Chains A and B, each alone.
Chain A
Amino acid sequence: MLTIKLAFKNLVGAGRRAWLNIIVLSIVYVMIIFMVGMIKGVFGRMEHDTQVTEFANGQFWCVNYDPQDLINMRDFHQSYADVKSSMKPDLTCPILLTPTTIYADGRSTPALLKGINPEQTVMQMETNKLLTESDFIPAMIGRKMAKTANLALGDIITLQVRDKNGVFDAVDAEIVYVMQHDIQTVDAGQVWIPLDRLQFLLGLENEASYITVSKDFDQEIKGWIFKDLDFLMADIKLLSFQKQIGAAIMNIIMLSLAALAIFDTQMLAIFRRKKEIGTLISLGMTQRYVKMLFTIEGFYYALLGIAVGLIYGIPILYFTSKNGINYGEFAEDIGMNMGSIIYPEFSFSLILSSTLMVAAIIMVVSYLPARSISKLNPAQILKGK
C-alpha cells in the first residue's frame, strides 16, 4: 500500500516528463490497436468478398486445370454433358476460359475471356447484365479492367479467339456492364461473356474449365476434381497471415520504442534520484521495496497511457470502424482484393490483449533499472555514486 502511494506521488511529482511519456505510450497503444484492426478489417473483408464473389463454396476443376499455367490455358476444358441435366443456376456455375486479344480504337490488349451462365446465382456477380439485348455479344468487365484497357460502358470491342481446331475468329462484343466491386481476381485482365456464346465460338459445347458450386450443392461431379475453400483461399489466408506477422513486427517496434522511452526515463530517474533512493534506504526501506516502487511507477505509466489512449482512441476507433477509411485509387494499385474503403475491425479481445501486452512490457522495463539498484551498496547510493 505504501509503495503504491509513494509511486503515485513520484509520478505526479515528475510533472511534464511523466505526461510526455504517458502521451507517447498512449499513442503507441492506440496505434497498435488501430494497425491490427486495419489488417483484420482488410483481410476479413477480402476473404469474405473473394469467397462470395469468386469461390462460393468451392470449385470442381477439369483434370488439367491449372490457374497458374497461362501458356496452356486454351486446353483447360472438359465436358460436363453427363451432369448437365442436374445442374441448376443456383447450385452450379460452369465457367469456360480462353485467352483472347481485345481490339478497340486501334489498340490491342491481351486478356482472359471467360464464359459464364448469365442466370447463375452461385457467385455474387451481376451476370444477369449479360442478358442485356445487344447487336453484339454482351460483355462485362470490371472497374480495373475498364481503367487499364481504357474501356467504358457501351464500347464495342473486337475479341479474337481460337477455337478447338486452332482456327482464329474475331467477334464484336459490347460492354454492357462495368462491375464496381473490389475483387480483382474476377476483374483484372478479364472479359466476361455468356457461357453458351463462348462455347459456340470455341466449338466446345457443354464444356467448362471449372464449375463453381454453392453451399447447397453436396454432390461429386464424376471426372472433375473438387477444390474446397481451404485450398482456394490458401493464398489469401497466407497473405493475411504474412501481413499480420508484418503488423506484429511493426507493433513490436513501436512498443519497443515506447518501452525504450519509459526505460530511459526510469534509468535516468534512477541516476537522478540515487540520493533519494539512498535516503529511502537509510530510512529503512528495503531494496525490494525500492524495486517495487519503480515497478509500480511503471505500472502507473502503463495505466495512465492506456487510460489516456482510450479517452481519445475510442472515438477515433469507433468513427473509423463505422465510416471506414477511403484509400481511393491507391487501393486498386495494391493488387489485392481490397476495397477502396477499409473498415477496421476492433474487437474486445484485440483491445484487451493490446492492453495486457502494453502493461506487461512497461512493467518489465520499469523493473529492470530498479533491479540494478538492489545490487548497489546503500552507502554508495547515498553518495550518488
Chain B
Amino acid sequence: MSKSLINIEGLIKRFPMGNREFTALNGVDLKIGQGEFSGLVGPSGSGKTTILNIVGSLDIPTEGTVNVLGNDIGTLTAKTAAKLRNKHIGFIFQTYNLLPVYTVYENVELPLLLLGYDKASREKMIMDALEWVDLIDKRDLRPSTLSGGESQRVAVARAMVKRPEIVLADEPTANLDSKNSFNILEMMVDINKELKTTFIFATHDEKVMKYLKRKISLIDGKIAKDELIK
C-alpha cells in the first residue's frame, strides 16, 4: 500500500440535536494513501460528508484521532487548520461554491492569493489549471454566465491550482448531467494520474462509483465495506 496520508482511528462524531445528541460517525477506522482515487459511498445521513469535513479540518472529532499529513485534526487551532486547508487540501462541492462577484480567473486565483504567491507565479498556475479544465477562453466571465458543467470545472481548477496532496469532493456530479459528469470525472482521473493527487469522494452517484479505485461503504456512521476495485 502507498504511503498513508490520512489515518483515522476510532472516529466518533456526535452532533447536538435539541436536548439529545445525534451520532453521525460511530467508530470509523480508515487509512488512505497517496494517489488514491477513493470514494465514501452510502445513503444520505451515513456520515460521508462528516468524514470529509473532519479530514478537511473544517470540523473536529468528538472521539478518536484523525491524522492528516501528520496533523492531528483534533488538536489543531483555527489558524493551523486554515493553514492545512490552504496548503494541502482542495475542496470540490456539489453546488460549486464559486464566489459570484469574481470572474473565473479570480475564483481560481483565490487560493494562491491566500498562499501569498507573486503575480507572475499566480498567472502561470492559474493558466495551467484553466488549461486542465479547458476554460481559458472563459477566464473573464462571472460564474452566473457559466453552465453547471463549466462551473464545476472552475471549482476543480480552483481546488487543483495549488497542487494539493488531497482533494475532497462532496457529491461533485450531483448537479450535472451525464455528459458533464463524464467530462469532470475523466478530468479528475487524468489529474490523479498526472499529479498523484489523492481524491476522496463522498457520493451515491453510480457514475462516480464506476471511476473509483476504492469504494468505502458507510451505513449508519460505520464502515460496512471497504473494497479495492480493479
Residues of A near any B CB (own CB < 8 A): 2, 5, 9-10, 12-14, 275-276, 278-288, 377-379, 382
Contact = CB atoms under 8 A, between A and B. Distances in A.
A74 to B, nearest CB: 81
Interface in B98-141: 98-102, 106, 110-111, 113-115
Nearest to B95: A275
A12 B209 CA distance: 42
B97 A276 contact: yes
Contact of A13 (B58, B78, B100, B158): B100
A9 B113 CA distance: 14
B72 interface: no
Given A379-B59, A382-B58, A284 B111 contact: yes
B21 to A, nearest CB: 15
> Secondary structure at chain A's binding surface: helix, strand, loop or mixed?
helix
B58 A379 contact: yes
B58 A2 contact: no
Contacts of A275: 95, 97
A279 B99 contact: yes
B102 A282 contact: no
B95 A13 contact: no
Given A378-B58, A379-B53, A382-B58, A283 B78 contact: no
> Secondary structure at chain B's binding surface: helix, strand, loop or mixed?
helix
Interface in B69-96: 78-79, 82-83, 85-87, 91, 93, 95
A284 B101 contact: no
A377 B97 CA distance: 17
B95 to A, nearest CB: 7
B111 A287 contact: no
A282 B85 contact: yes
A339 to B, nearest CB: 52
B42 interface: no
A282 B114 contact: no
B56 interface: yes
A155 B86 CA distance: 92
A377 B59 contact: yes
Given A283-B110, A285-B114, A378 B59 contact: yes
Contacts of A2: 113-114
Nearest to A377: B59
A104 B106 CA distance: 87
A130 to B, nearest CB: 76
Contact of B86 (A10, A12, A278, A284): A284
12 contacts: A9-B101, A13-B100, A275-B95, A276-B99, A278-B97, A279-B99, A283-B91, A284-B83, A284-B85, A286-B82, A287-B78, A382-B53
